[in-house]
Amino acid sequence: MAPLKKKKRKTSSKNPKNQAEQVDFKTKIAQKRQAREARKNLLGAIFSSIFCLIVFGIPLMLTVGVKEGIMVGIGIPILFLSYKYPRQALWVFLIYIPFGGTITYSIGGGSVVLQLVKDVFYIPALIKIIQERSRKRLPILIPKKIKPTLTILLICCFLTLMTVNTLQQFLPVCDETNPVLIQSPLTGELIKAPCRKGLTFLQGLFGLKVLLGYFPLALCAYYLIEDKKKLFFLGRLLVVLTIICCLLGLVQYWMLKSGRCLGTRNESGVQLYKASLEARCFIGGSLLYSPEFGQIRLPGTFVSPWHWGWFLVAHAAISYTVTFSEMINSFRENLQKTSLFWGIAGLISMILVLINAIICGQRLAFILVPSIYLVLLILSFLLLSTAQGSNLKQLFLKLKHLIPVLIGVGVFIIIGGVAALSFFNPDFIQERYESFLSRWAASNPLDFMSEQINLVLDNSRIFGKGLGEATSSARFLGDIYFLETYHAKIIYEIGVVGFFAFMGFLTHLLMLTFKAYRSVRNPGIASYGASFWVFMVIITYLPYWYPMDTDPVGVYYWFFAGVILKLPEIDKLELPLPDKENSQGKKLKFKRKKISWT
């Protein structure tokens, strides 16, 4: 019997189409599995949050108070969710900042706890990001080259905290009614014995948190903004926030002007010239509205007029950036509708910022907002003219894209100015201008800043007088020395050596961010870096008031630094793939096919 022959299996050549379908099918299954897991995790997080609210919130509501119980019951779940979903927490963090002042005074009555609510989103998200990057062995310090100047600054702060704040904590508490007198070893006269007026060590820790606590936001921004899509989403989100806040600011002004809110008109004496929380109207916190005496200081959605003024300065740069980038993107893609829509939205936000800068009564916003527009307009021209070459033909092609943008910006700003004049009447604009000049003449900011610097230099110590000792937000931990200029405040707290360490650190950061944004070749992306960098320069070297200690500037400064440092990587993702061309100028397709099979 002949042995059975084994039938050879027919080896069919693999069909690329079937392979592609199989891969696509597996991808869909994996995506569905991930979606199921995400829904499961989200439901688990929601149930855990409800459990925390019931277990912690309700007992506290019954024993301590309703407000405290609600805050703890909601705060614990937010901490958990922010740690679980760090990206979403950071977006909520950015959204909350412009409305924090309104929420603080509308719900919490100015509670200190509510003023720190934003950290409930920020700190857990930061911890999760650090853990993720440590697990993946990615750098945590962003930028890495900042390490030398940051180390020097931290050493200065640590020395101040240990030698000043900690030693003061061991002094007896001051008794104003019956002060202890001792004999001065120098003059022999009786002087008050050294004592402390608060929790100086905790005040020092809080002062350090205010000084450098949001520096890790650079890492958060670097982690959050992954590509051009996220970058443009950030700009569009900030434009939406700008429009909402500015419209609310206009409503606040209209309510005061129409008499629905009295403001400070019924006050007498000195109170006619002071912002008051009792005069609060619709949104925000304390305001001053005595138009008969030329006194108008509006807080917008923030806790005070100063905060609102700096918000307008920051969002002047943001709104211009989005307008320019979206318009460039729209013209490059043959008037693509989405970019055109957001470009127009950016123009509207520019006009609203300009109008609010006129009516808010803050001379800083009144002068800086139009100045920022002008500087950024010039910088935009330079970005386009030096983007990819310098010959005349390329320059003409770049100007072709620039001209519609310039015309659009000019037309809309003119329309906005006309609308402002018709809405507020010409007398009001003239009145604001004259008020600005009279206030400048009565209290020259340059003289005021030099007086404050000389004052702290005459009484300075080598390590300063303690972190937090001149920080306005640390006053709930003890008495503070109120200074209205930022650089004087830094000298007072950490001394002259600490001041130079701090300014060296900020200058080093500016150099690194400048180098980063100048390496970007895409003008639409580079405009974000240019605008954010100009904003950082203004905040770093302008000594008037203390914007880096307060919202939103204290957040935007570090966040924008992280965004700028990420731009070179985003720019690389947007570079087109190099294509080889034959002698007729036709692209060779076989190379592309070969790449696509691997």
- Whether residue 544 sits in one domain with residue 431: no
Q: Is the same domain home to 431 and 516?
A: no
Same domain, 432 and 479: no
Specify whether 423 is located in the same domain as 499.
no
**451/436 Cα distance (integer angstroms):** 21
Q: Please state, in angstroms and as integers, the Cα–Cα distance from residue 23 to each residue in 29, 34, 170, 591, following that order.
A: 10, 16, 69, 22
The C-alpha atoms of residue 526 and residue 528 are separated, in whole angstroms, by 5
- Show which of 442, 457, 486 is a domain's final residue: 442
Which residue in 67, 62, 58 sits closest to 106, CA to CA?
A: 67
67 occurs within a structural domain: no
Domain of 479 in residue numbering reads as 145-171+191-226+444-573
Same domain, 454 and 431: no
Measure the CA–CA gap between 105 and 115, rounded to whole angstroms.
10
Strand partners, 144: none
Contact assessment for residue 201 and residue 166, using Cβ atoms and an 8 Å cutoff: yes
Domain boundary among 419, 442, 465: 442
User: Are 445 and 544 a contacting pair, CB within 8 Å?
Assistant: yes
251 and 373 belong to one structural domain: yes
In a domain, 136, yes or no: no
Is 126 among the domain residues?
A: no
Give the residue ranges of the chain where pLDDT is below 50.
1, 6, 10-13, 389-393, 395-396, 580-598
Dihedral, 477, 479, 484, 490 alpha carbons, nearest 10: -70
How far apart, in Å, are the Cα atoms of 111 and each of 231, 312, 514? 34, 25, 39
Give the residue from 322, 318, 315, 316 showing the smallest Cα distance to 232.
Answer: 322
Inside any domain, residue 5 = no
Residues 299, 167 share a domain: no
Residue 597 has what pLDDT?
Answer: 34
Structure tokens at 136: 């993946």
496: its two tokens: 């002259």
Output the pLDDT for position 414.
57
Task: Find the distance separating the first CA and the last CA of the chain, reported in whole Å.
Answer: 50
- 442, 458, 484 - which closes a domain: 442
Residues 477 and 426 in one domain: no
Residue 427 placed within a domain: yes
Residue 519, CB-side half-sphere exposure with 13 Å CA sphere = 15
Q: What is the DSSP letter of 585?
A: S
Same domain, 460 and 491: yes
- Beta-sheet pairing, 288-290 with 295-297: antiparallel
Kindly state whether residues 270 and 383 are assigned to the same domain.
yes
C-alpha–C-alpha distance, residues 373 and 366, integer Å: 12
**ω into 143 cis (within 30 of 0):** yes
β partners of residue 297: 288
| Count of structural domains, the chain | 2
Inter-residue contact 484 to 451 (CB < 8 Å): no
Answer yes or no: is 111 within a domain: no
**Quick check: is 474 in a domain?**
yes
Check whether the bond before 552 is cis (ω within 30° of 0).
yes
Q: In this predicted structure, what is the pLDDT of residue 506?
A: 96
- Supply the pLDDT for residue 16: 58
Per residue in 139-156, is it b (16+ CB within 10 Å) or e — as a string? eeebbeebeebbebbeeb
Per the CB < 8 A criterion, the answer to whether 77 and 48 are in contact is: yes
Rounded to whole angstroms, the Cα distance separating 217 from 312 reads 21
Under DSSP, is residue 568 helix (H, G, I), strand (E, B) or coil? helix
Considering the domain architecture, whether residues 527 and 489 belong to the same structural domain is answered as yes
Helix (H) or strand (E) holding 38: helix 16-52
Annotate 444-464 with three-state secondary structure. Answer: CHHHHHHHHHHHHHHCCCCCC
Structure-block tokens of residue 403 = 């001209």
What torsion, rounded to 10 degrees, do the Cα atoms 100, 106, 112, 118 define?
-20
Residue 396: per-residue pLDDT: 47
pTM of the model: 0.84
* Residues with Cβ within 8 Å of residue 566, at least 6 apart in sequence: 221, 222, 225
Q: Is the dihedral of CA 542, 543, 547, 548 positive or negative?
A: positive
595 is a domain residue: no
Report the distance separating Cα 261 and Cα 298, nearest Å.
12
Q: Are residues 279 and 292 in the same domain?
A: yes
